[in-house]
């Protein structure tokens, strides 16, 4: 698939991504930059006005999944998250939050991606890091064709 198709998938076709407002800034094989613009609805701590940890975890999960997905050779293959770990280092401010995901392991059946999250105004301050392990699955149709 082309980067344009991946961008459409990431921003428009996945309903929860659209609901949260994910923007796909750059999509390369195994290298993803996604961003969520700040909105009041994304706040998790009304006193400190910090971004909800769930926004960070969903962004990390999605960016990591695309880092694996874009590196697959079979166009019809799909990824699904096996496990995800997020380490929260700094509270997220009322600013856009950006995720940079990198493929770190690309096996036949399992892919692993690292994600670093930060505010674009302060790119060297890491807000959170994520690591996702993703199962790689061939489409039914593909599997059937191959087993003949």
Q: Which of 26, 89, 120, 121 binds a copy of itself (CB under 8 A)?
A: 89
80 binds a copy of itself (CB under 8 A): yes
The binder of a copy of itself chosen from 85, 122, 123, 144 (CB under 8 A): 85
Supply the minimum distance, in Å, between the C-beta of residue 146 and a copy of itself: 9
Q: Supply the minimum distance, in Å, between the C-beta of residue 50 and a copy of itself.
A: 8
Report the length, in residues, of the chain. Answer: 148
Query: Interface with a copy of itself includes 2 (CB under 8 A)?
Result: no
Q: What is the torsion angle, in degrees rounded to the nearest 10, for the CA atoms of residue 131, residue 91, residue 54 and residue 136?
A: -10
Residues that bind a copy of itself (CB under 8 A): 13-20, 40-46, 52-55, 57-59, 61-62, 80-89, 91, 104-105, 107, 109-110, 112, 126, 129, 131, 133, 135
């Amino acid at each position: 698939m082309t980067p344009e198709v991946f961008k459409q998938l990431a921003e428009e076709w996945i309903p929860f991504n659209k609901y949260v407002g994910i923007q796909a800034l750059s999509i390369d094989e195994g290298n993803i930059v996604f961003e969520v613009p700040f909105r009041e609805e994304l706040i998790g701590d009304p006193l400190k006005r910090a971004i909800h940890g769930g926004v960070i975890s969903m962004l990390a999960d999605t960016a990591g999944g695309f880092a694996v997905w874009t590196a697959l050779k079979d166009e019809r293959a799909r990824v699904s998250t096996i496990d995800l770990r997020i380490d929260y280092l700094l509270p997220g401010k009322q600013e856009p939050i950006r995720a940079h995901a990198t493929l770190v392991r690309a096996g036949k059946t399992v892919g692993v991606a690292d994600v670093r999250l930060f505010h674009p105004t302060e790119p060297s301050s890491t807000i959170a890091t994520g690591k996702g392990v993703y199962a790689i699955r061939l489409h039914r149709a593909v599997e059937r064709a191959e087993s003949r």
